[in-house]
Amino acid sequence: MLICDGVELRQGDFVLRADLQFSAGGVTALIGPSGAGKSTLLSGLAGFLVPHAGRILWDGQDLRSVAPGRRPMSVLFQDNNLFPHLTIGQNVGLALRPDLRLTPDQGRSVACVLDRVGLDGFADRIPAALSGGQQSRAALARVLLGDRPIVLLDEPFAALGPGLKEEMLDLVRDLLVGDGVTLIMVTHDPADAKRIADDVVLVAGGVAEPPVQTDVLFANPTAALVHYLGAGMG
Amino acid sequence: MKNTTYLPAVAGLVLCATGASAETPVLQVMTYDSFVSEWGPGPAVEAAFEETCACDLQFVGAGDGASLLARLQLEGPRTEADIVLGLDTNLTAAARETGLFASHGLSVDLDLPIAWDDAEFLPFDWGYFAFVGNVGDAAPASLRALADSDAQIVIQDPRSSTPGLGLLMWVTAAYGDEAEALWADLADNIVTVTPGWSEAYGMFLDGEADAVLSYTTSPAYHLIAEEDDSKVAWGFDEGHYMQVEVAGKVAGTDQPELADQFLAFMVSEAFQGVIPTTNWMYPSVTPADGLPDGFETLLTPAKALLFSPEDAAAKRDAALDEWRAALSQ
Amino acid sequence: MARSTFPITPRWPGTVAAVLVLILTIGTLGAVAYRAEWGSGLSAADWAAIRFTVSQALVSAVISVVLAIPVARALARRQFPGRQMLITLLGAPFLLPVIVAVLGLLAVFGREGVLNRLLEGLGLSPISIFGFHGVVLAHVFFNLPLAIRLILQGWLSIPAERFRLVATLDASVARLLEWPMLRAVVPSAFLVIFLICLTSFAVALTLGGGPRATTVELAIYQALRFDFDLGRAALLACIQFAICVIAAVLAWRVAAVDAMGAGLDRVVQRWDLSRPWLDFAMILAGALFLLVPLGMVVLRGLPGLTQMPETIWYAALRSVFVAGGSAVLCVTMAVALALRGGVFVAVIGVLPLAASGLVVGTGAFLIVFSFIRPSDVALVVTMLVNATLALPFALRAIAPAVERVAADYGRLGRSLGMAGWGWIRLIVLPRIRRPLGFAAGLAAALSMGDLGVITLFAGQAEETLPLAMYRLMGAYRMEAAAGAALVLLAMSLLLFWICDRGGRVDADL
């Protein structure tokens, strides 16, 4: 169980308050207007921002003093998810050894996970030689290999076309969801939320609301959601 | 590749810069740079002295004559130098004041144009300052004539170079109270003032000036080493200021006998014989078979000028102010 | 980006580097002041020296920057065969030891130089290089390459999309793109060159024509070597620091992001390029001014090559060793400081520019002498001091690149648990290869020509190439010295080229 207990995150003048808990093993979408603090919340969870007040708890443990790389979570960012000068194999291998001193066994695991995301034989290429979709798959392969209980997605597929984005979301669902992984994804597209999210957290006006079941929320939108979605969407 | 063979040598030099073994006593002689250069007296002197002393003679090059004294002052009583070689009489007063020097205790018959009775410093060579120009050019016959002529000269800065300081003393010795007026008249003859002798002499050879402040013995270098007789020193009626280069024993030396031995060696044939064609100065004791061929062609000034070290030190600051004032107009 | 409590690299290496720089700049000054017997204040002559120093530095920096703008603009706009080679060669004067450069300048602008021969042939009266204008000419010769490089970098940092946008708007490239870029880049370029000229010594003395051209650095030299007045030397060094600080503060407000070491081989497609002959005339003029004196150094050095003693090659190897060591030390310190980041580091990066080379050398000597024999550590200290003196340039090249790596990949790296050496080895170093190579080359070439520190420390066995060259001159061997100068020029350039090249190969990711 991932809990934000009276968390207050500050970035310059901006303040975001979050007092909520994410259901374990479920998919939660963070939606809300841009600049409302979705990415700020994700940064706080990932450990890039230290809460000004409150605690972030995972299975009862306060994560305050846990460095980002040691938290039980993998992150995919909006961009720069792959180091351009490292090969795909190296990029994926970082999930096992941050210093890349892989054992032969670990090397086989890398090959295996690349195969699972459909990138068999791409291990020795550099990211620039891959298409956008293939790059996303490589990043996803690293998340899979990392095998951490929480996965944070900060709109990593936003730059892909709509078809490709849906394909990637499906891939995420197939590979991660249902495996006990707690998935938290930022999105500005309600369709994404409807597609794979169990719950939705609305982030608006400096506050992250407690999660609401996706179908419930869209069936009975709150005022804030209506405002965000606009007249045509309700 | 040929270069690879040098690498161990370089590494060795870096790791143990002083390669002396523990048994052989080491005599450290601090001197100016050009003394230790490939063509300076250093290599020959080292070889000759080490043949007789059962010791390791080490030269430490410390810039030019002026920086030599500064280096000694920086190091103070803790200096490892046993001998300081290369000061001239314009610097010996300040050197004596440091209290770092011991008496040399030698009485030597020196071939200097002047009497010498300094208890601490012993001359190893000497020369006359002179302007060196090209044969065939009109040569002024005095400092005054030079100042009144159109001749273009390069001189050295008295604040950073011993020849520069020598010229300052020369003008002061020759003109006394009228030195500033002479400098004022010389100002339009001076192309530039360089930090050291090397830059000035290089500029002269490159044709930047008609003459350069150097020594009466400079033409001997061109004559003997390059078989070139196109350089000549201008003789001046006022007389020529002398440079007497001396060495002294450091009082705190841990090798007093060796240091005494070196000073005695310094005025002997083996040392004095290499001076004319390596340092291009007059030896302070003329070797038995005379000076090398070519030296007889050099200018012999009718009158030698030289302040005592104490006078030179006393007059320096005022002379420098005059010089600066006159040339800053 | 908000500060995290989990830094990706430890802060101590940057702190160590900063402390080292502080010791070598402020600490050496302190060591000199500590030994001083305070008494004499500043004389009228010292004040004259301060006035001259500031005025020549101002004029030199203004002219360098003003002349660099059209040359850099032309180089940014035009593509032609050999352009990259030319840009590298144009950088050469900045890397030259002063005395070599002065010889080259005299061969062109001196009484018997190429220019006066030409004027004579045309029946015109000859010009003299000596005097205030000679000092400025030499400083422009030294620093124009730096100015061109900094400003060209500014031009090439304008994204191609902006040119496209301006082209579609049919607006003025000069007003919308170039003017704002120049306003950001020129003040910092001006500052760097002003500071370099401020601490100049041999150029001013050799070409200045007399005591009128006394700089503060010469006054410091006089105080140290001639009067042995450490108090006055320290006082003058403080004044030099103060002038630098004032200049830095004045130029600070417009501090710009510039990446000196980034690629210069890019040519942005442009839609506003008329009058190519004007650009090529600018490039030709710049190349003539900078390359003819270099050519003269080569020409004059060739006959001397056969007359050099064999020991020159040992000295040359020792110099390469020193240069290599300086380069490694310098980029190590620069990377450590850049990884640490912050305003403090920016200040550390400017300090060495403001320091008096003579005071640094003397202070280092006093510090070292309290512990061991200076000649034992001559080469190491020479490396360290030269690495520090080259640090401002290395830091300017490396810091923006390191910042960019942190901005682009810092969070990814931290989320993967990368830290410390692994992060530096796998991510930072490969991604900053270009500026790293450039900075290493610059540091190597600059320390190759060092004559300041080594003279104070060296015994007989530590002779470096510039020292050997100077000693040859002192022994009347002017031709052999010219040969040594040529070797020095060639090796400085070669070292720079190798390092710079090493950073470029396969680095286009």
- Tell me if chain B has a CB within 8 Å of the CB of C212: yes
**What is the mean predicted confidence (pLDDT) over B74-81?**
87
Are B74 and C471 a contacting pair at CB < 8 A?
A: no
Q: What is the ipTM of this complex?
A: 0.84
Residues in C touching B159 (Cβ below 8 Å): 218, 221-222, 226
Question: pLDDT for B133-147, tens place per residue?
Answer: 999 999 999 999 999
Are B13 and C102 a contacting pair at CB < 8 A?
A: no
Are C416 and A94 a contacting pair at CB < 8 A?
A: yes
Residues in A touching C4 (Cβ below 8 Å): 47-50, 68
- Within-domain flag for C38: no
**What is the mean predicted confidence (pLDDT) over B207-222?**
95
Question: pLDDT for A111-147, tens place per residue?
Answer: 999 998 889 999 999 998 999 889 999 999 999 898 8
10 Å CB burial of residue C347 (0-12, 13-18, 19+) is middle
* Domain B128-242+300-327 part of CATH 3.40.190.10: yes
Interface of C with B in 405-434 (CB under 8 A): none
| Total number of domains constituting chain C | 1
Question: pLDDT for B116-132, tens place per residue?
Answer: 989 999 999 999 999 99
Residues in A touching C1 (Cβ below 8 Å): 48
Q: Between B and C, how many CB-CB pairs are < 8 A?
A: 189
Q: Between A and C, how many CB-CB pairs are < 8 A?
A: 78
> Three-state SS across chain B?
CHHHHHHHHHHHHHHCCCCCCCCCCEEEEEECHHHHCCCCCHHHHHHHHHHHHCCEEEEEECCCHHHHHHHHHHHHHHCCCCEEEEEECCCHHHHHHCCCEECCCCCCCCCCCCCCCCCCEEEEEEEEEEEEEECCCCCCCCHHHHHHCCCCEEEECCCCCHHHHHHHHHHHHHHHHHHHHHHHHHHHHEEEEECCHHHHHHHHHCCCCCEEEEECCHHHHHHHHHCCCCEEEECCCCCEEEEEEEEEEECCCCCHHHHHHHHHHHCCHHHHCCHHHHCCCEECCCCCCCCCCCHHHCCCCCCEECCCHHHHHHHHHHHHHHHHHHHCC
Does an interface of 3+ CB pairs under 8 Å exist between B and C? yes
Q: Give the containing element (helix H, strand E) for A184.
A: strand A182-186
Q: How far apart are CA C323 and CA A169, in angstroms?
A: 55
- Residue A164 distance to chain C (closest CA, Å): 23
Nearest CB neighbour to B206, from listed C112, C207, C467:
C112
Residues in C touching A126 (Cβ below 8 Å): 509
What's the CATH code of the domain at C304?
1.10.3720.10
- Tell me if chain C has a CB within 8 Å of the CB of A11: yes
- Within-domain flag for C438: yes
What pLDDT shows up at residue B227? Answer: 92
Q: How far apart are CA C447 and CA C300, in angstroms?
A: 23
- Residue C376 distance to chain B (closest CA, Å): 5
- Tokens, residue C462: 């530590």
Nearest chain C residue to A51, by CA = C4
pTM of the model: 0.82
Over 90: is that where the pLDDT of B80 sits?
Answer: no
Are C461 and B42 a contacting pair at CB < 8 A?
A: no
- Tell me if chain C has a CB within 8 Å of the CB of B38: yes
Nearest CB neighbour to C228, from listed B60, B73, B191:
B73
Question: Where does B24-126+244-295 sit in CATH, by number?
Answer: 3.40.190.10
What pLDDT shows up at residue B235? Answer: 95
Residue C248 main-chain phi, psi, to 5 deg: -65, -45
Q: Where do the domains of chain B lie?
A: 24-126+244-295, 128-242+300-327
What pLDDT shows up at residue C2? Answer: 40
Of B148-152, B317-321, C111-115, C339-343, the one with minimum mean pLDDT is: C339-343
Residue B61 main-chain phi, psi, to 5 deg: -80, 130
Find the helix packing angle between C132-156 and C44-77, rounded to 10°.
Answer: 40
Over 90: is that where the pLDDT of B37 sits?
Answer: no
- Residue C80 distance to chain A (closest CA, Å): 29
**What's the Cα-to-Cα distance from B87 to each of A57, A214, B214, rounded to whole Å?**
79, 94, 17
Question: pLDDT for A77-105, tens place per residue?
Answer: 888 889 988 999 999 999 998 888 899 99
- Within-domain flag for C202: yes
What pLDDT shows up at residue A139? Answer: 93
- Residue C504 distance to chain A (closest CA, Å): 14
- Tell me if chain B has a CB within 8 Å of the CB of C168: no
Nearest CB neighbour to C412, from listed A80, A85, A126:
A80
**What's the Cα-to-Cα distance from C149 to each of C266, C318, C346, C351, rounded to whole Å?**
13, 30, 20, 22
- Tell me if chain C has a CB within 8 Å of the CB of B33: yes
Residues in B touching C477 (Cβ below 8 Å): 39
User: Is the distance from CB of B105 to CB of B248 less than 8 angstroms?
Assistant: no
Q: Determine the 3-state secondary structure of A16 from DSSP.
A: strand
CB neighbour list of residue A226: distance below 8 Å, 6 or more residues apart: A234
Quick one: pLDDT band at residue A233, thresholds 50, 70, 90? very low
Chains that touch B (3 or more CB pairs under 8 A): C
- Within-domain flag for C10: no
- Within-domain flag for C493: yes
Quick one: pLDDT band at residue A54, thresholds 50, 70, 90? very high
Are C226 and B160 a contacting pair at CB < 8 A?
A: yes
- Tell me if chain C has a CB within 8 Å of the CB of A130: no
Residues in C touching A43 (Cβ below 8 Å): 2, 411
Q: Determine the 3-state secondary structure of A54 from DSSP.
A: strand
What pLDDT shows up at residue C271? Answer: 59
b/e string for B3-30 if b means 16 or more Cβ within 10 A?
eeeeeeebeebbeebbeeeeeeebbbbb
- Tell me if chain B has a CB within 8 Å of the CB of C478: yes
- Residue B329 distance to chain C (closest CA, Å): 8
Nearest CB neighbour to A98, from listed C2, C417, C509:
C417
Are C474 and B33 a contacting pair at CB < 8 A?
A: yes
Quick one: pLDDT band at residue A232, thresholds 50, 70, 90? very low
Are C202 and B152 a contacting pair at CB < 8 A?
A: no
10 Å CB burial of residue C79 (0-12, 13-18, 19+) is exposed
Q: How far apart are CA B65 and CA B91, in angstroms?
A: 9
Does an interface of 3+ CB pairs under 8 Å exist between B and A? no
Are C409 and A80 a contacting pair at CB < 8 A?
A: yes
Are A81 and C412 a contacting pair at CB < 8 A?
A: yes
- Within-domain flag for C446: yes
What pLDDT shows up at residue B236? Answer: 96
What pLDDT shows up at residue B257? Answer: 92
**What's the Cα-to-Cα distance from C496 to each of B3, B24, C323, C352, C449, rounded to whole Å?**
19, 43, 10, 21, 12
- Tell me if chain C has a CB within 8 Å of the CB of A43: yes
Instruction: Tell me how many degrees the CA angle B224-B229-B233 measures, rounded to the nearest 5.
Output: 95
Q: Give the containing element (helix H, strand E) for A20.
A: strand A14-22
Identify the residue among A45, A49, A83, A135 best suited for mutation to test binding to C, counting C beta carbons within 10 A and taking the highest.
A83
Q: Determine the 3-state secondary structure of C91 from DSSP.
A: coil
- Pick from B126, B127, B122: which is nearest to B105 by CA? B122
Question: pLDDT for B195-204, tens place per residue?
Answer: 889 889 999 9
Q: Is the dihedral of CA C49, C50, C53, C59 positive or negative?
A: negative
Given a cut of 50, the residues of chain C with pLDDT beneath it are: 1-4, 256-262, 507-509
Tracing tokens 């207050």 back to the chain, one arrives at A8
Residues in C touching B221 (Cβ below 8 Å): 476
- Pick from B57, B271, B276: which is nearest to C459 by CA? B57
Q: How far apart are CA C8 and CA A69, in angstroms?
A: 10
Chains that touch C (3 or more CB pairs under 8 A): A, B
- Residue C352 distance to chain B (closest CA, Å): 23
- Tokens, residue C179: 């003017």
User: In terms of residues, how long is chain C?
Assistant: 509
Partnered with residue A151 across adjacent β-strands are A74, A183
- Tell me if chain C has a CB within 8 Å of the CB of B40: yes
10 Å CB burial of residue B209 (0-12, 13-18, 19+) is buried
Are C414 and A74 a contacting pair at CB < 8 A?
A: no
Write down the mean pLDDT value for chain B: 88
Identify the residue among B68, B78, B191, B221 best suited for mutation to test binding to C, counting C beta carbons within 10 A and taking the highest.
B191
What pLDDT shows up at residue C450? Answer: 75
Instruction: Tell me how many degrees the CA angle B141-B146-B149 measures, rounded to the nearest 5.
Output: 115
Interface of B with C in 87-146 (CB under 8 A): 94
- Tokens, residue A143: 């998340």
Question: pLDDT for C396-443, tens place per residue?
Answer: 888 888 888 888 888 888 888 888 888 888 888 988 888 899 889 989
- Tell me if chain B has a CB within 8 Å of the CB of C461: yes
**What's the Cα-to-Cα distance from C181 to each of B63, B271, C199, C403, rounded to whole Å?**
46, 67, 28, 20
Q: Which domain holds residue C62?
A: 18-33+43-504
Query: Matching CATH topology for B24-126+244-295 and B128-242+300-327?
Result: yes
Over 80: is that where the pLDDT of A50 sits?
Answer: yes
- Within-domain flag for C5: no
